[in-house]
Amino acid sequence: MLMGLSFFCCYAVRVTTSVTLEAMTNANSANPDFEEFAWSESVKHMILSSFFWGYTCTQIPASIITQRWSAQGLFSVTLIIAGLLTLGSPFAAHYGGWQAMIAARIICGLAQGAALPCLHTLLSKWSPPEERGRLSTFVYSGGWIGNVICLLSTGFLSASSIGWPSCFYVWGSCSILCGISFYKFGKDSPSEHASIPSDEKEYIEMSLGATEVDEKPSTPWISILKSLPVWALLATQCAQSWGFWMLLTEIPSYMASVMHFDIKKNGLMTALPYLTAWIVSFPISYVSDICIRRNIVSTQMSRKICNTLGQWTPAIALIGLGYTRQDQPELAVSILVIAVASNIAAYCGHNVNHMDLSPNFAGPLMGFTNAIAAACGILAPLIAGVIVTDPTNILQWRSVFFLSAGIYIVGNLIFVLFGTSKVQKWNDDIKSKRDSIVHKVSMTPVTVATIQEERNIEKIP
């Protein structure tokens, strides 16, 4: 519950700028009593992408810290810093202009770069393999419902008497409160939870094969970089990041410029697909886990089926969206619902594959893949800004949708061909070294005896 609520706040802090930016730069669509900024389309795209400039930089360092320090502690700090920066965004825009706004978003991205490595580290210690799909989807779907509530509330708050600054105040405060709660009540593992029932603790630790060890193994980066399944995972995660953030950051502009939704309706229509996705996430994850538990399909097959559903269905939907006319807003919304709702299945696909490949290094592995994938979050709105020079031109938006569809298709195809769910040998580096030493020691007498026998040398006690 804490992880899901915290991820809810992470996405609310990220997304609030997407809708609020329209109100900040177009007072006629919101409350005209509040300040309006004459920022160009290129500046708006820079603001939307600036979060990822910082977000990309801290993925790997954060994943290393989670292994050495505390994922729970680091995640708490992340939430508090992001909340404070969000609270200060209206002041940054007023006193420092778009440059200060970009700076605030970059630092917020730096803080939130730790979110996924922390959550993956915590999930790898708290979720039994047979419940991994459900628990991971529950946690990460918190981000999707965060999209919904933030997009809905941002539109109404911007048009209300308290204006667009209230969007930043509300979600910044929520993030700070959630960070404090996570620090007070969250725990790194079941063994650190003072009041957990003993049978629950035993069940989780036995299912994961968890043991109390003093050694903190170093992340086997060289082995990770040589692993083909890791690169397959990286390819599909990059495709997911591109498509997801392209939709999330650009759809408000598309709905306003092409479909001519006002700020209230814009937030509502943009939120509807994410609400649908959140609702369908529970039956999808449940079916995925139960099929694995009953041996209907293998874990690997389940991951690939879910990922294909989660990426190729949105690809087809985006192609259809490219041919939607301006006088068909209902059809556009329906297609967006299909694209976004089906995409949630990827959370039972590649998104849990880090824990499949390496339960011990799920956090660092997520940090590595997400650092590169987050670069797609930077490129998506920037490239959209290059392609869409006239926001009212539906042909330019069609090019954006076709490009995203192609990336989805290629990314998932690589995962289907080369991905796996088998635990990799480098997952348990300490055990592998111990086994190697034991093997050498056990072989030594045999080897010596054989040599002595062959050479007919007298055995020495």
Domain edges within the chain: 2-188+226-423, 426-461
Q: What is the pLDDT of residue 266?
A: 61
Query: pLDDT, tens digit, for every residue of 369-388?
Result: 988 888 876 788 778 888 88
Cα 441 off chain centre by: 45
Poorest-confidence range of 151-160, 323-332, 439-448? 439-448
Residues 187 and 359: their CA atoms lie apart, in Å, by 18
Give the count of beta carbons closer than 10 Å to the beta carbon of residue 44: 23
Q: Which CATH number fits domain 2-188+226-423: 3.40.50.2300, 2.40.340.10, 1.20.1250.20, 3.10.20.30?
A: 1.20.1250.20
Give the count of beta carbons closer than 10 Å to the beta carbon of residue 372: 16
Q: What is the pLDDT of residue 442?
A: 45
At 48, list the tokens.
């939307």
**Would residue 209 be called left, alpha or beta, if left means φ above 0 and alpha means ψ between -120 and 50 degrees?**
left
Q: What is the pLDDT of residue 457?
A: 41
Residues 79 and 172: their CA atoms lie apart, in Å, by 9
Q: What is the pLDDT of residue 235?
A: 95
8-state DSSP, 359: S
At 2, list the tokens.
């804490």
R_g over Cα of the chain: 25
Q: Give backbone dihedrals phi and psi of 302, rounded to 5 degrees, phi first.
A: -60, -45
Range 338-348 average pLDDT: 89
Cβ neighbors of 119 (< 8 A, separation 6 or more) are: 3, 7, 71, 75, 139, 140
Is residue 55 over pLDDT 50? yes
Largest CA distance in the chain: 101
State percent of the chain over pLDDT 70: 87
Q: 9: pLDDT confidence band, cut at 50, 70 and 90?
A: very high
Give the count of beta carbons closer than 10 Å to the beta carbon of residue 223: 16
C-beta separation of 164 from 94 below 8 A: no
Q: 263: pLDDT confidence band, cut at 50, 70 and 90?
A: low
Is residue 402 over pLDDT 80? yes
Higher pLDDT, 73 or 451: 73
State percent of the chain over pLDDT 90: 32
Q: 107: pLDDT confidence band, cut at 50, 70 and 90?
A: very high
Cα 165 off chain centre by: 27
Range 243-252 average pLDDT: 77
Q: 452: pLDDT confidence band, cut at 50, 70 and 90?
A: very low
Is residue 244 over pLDDT 90? no
Is residue 115 over pLDDT 50? yes
Give the count of beta carbons closer than 10 Å to the beta carbon of residue 42: 12
Residue type, 459: K
Helix (H, G, I), strand (E, B) or coil at 90: helix
Range 89-93 average pLDDT: 91
Residue bearing tokens 């055995």: 459
Residues 232 and 68: their CA atoms lie apart, in Å, by 27
Q: What is the pLDDT of residue 332?
A: 82
Is residue 439 over pLDDT 50? no
Residue bearing tokens 């989670």: 66
Is residue 460 over pLDDT 60? no
Residues 404 and 314: their CA atoms lie apart, in Å, by 9
Higher pLDDT, 457 or 416: 416
Residues 273 and 334: their CA atoms lie apart, in Å, by 8
Residues 388 and 405: their CA atoms lie apart, in Å, by 17
Residue bearing tokens 């170093």: 218
Poorest-confidence range of 157-166, 257-266, 324-333, 412-421? 257-266
Q: Measuring CA to CA, which residue among 70, 61, 367, 423 is closest to residue 216?
A: 70
Q: What is the pLDDT of residue 230?
A: 95
Q: What is the pLDDT of residue 447?
A: 43
C-beta separation of 53 from 109 below 8 A: yes
Residues 400 and 250: their CA atoms lie apart, in Å, by 10
Is residue 56 over pLDDT 80? yes
Higher pLDDT, 12 or 458: 12
Q: What is the pLDDT of residue 87?
A: 92
Q: Measuring CA to CA, which residue among 257, 222, 192 is closest to residue 45?
A: 257
Q: What is the pLDDT of residue 210?
A: 58
Q: Measuring CA to CA, which residue among 12, 21, 11 is closest to residue 257?
A: 21
Q: What is the pLDDT of residue 384?
A: 84
Residue type, 85: L
Round to the nearest angstrom and report the end-to-end CA distance of the chain: 63
Q: 20: pLDDT confidence band, cut at 50, 70 and 90?
A: confident
Cα atoms in the 13 Å half-sphere on the side-chain side of 149: 18
Residues 297 and 303: their CA atoms lie apart, in Å, by 10
Predicted TM-score (pTM) of the model is 0.77
8-state DSSP, 226: T
State the average pLDDT for the chain: 83
Q: What is the pLDDT of residue 436?
A: 44
Q: What is the pLDDT of residue 145?
A: 86
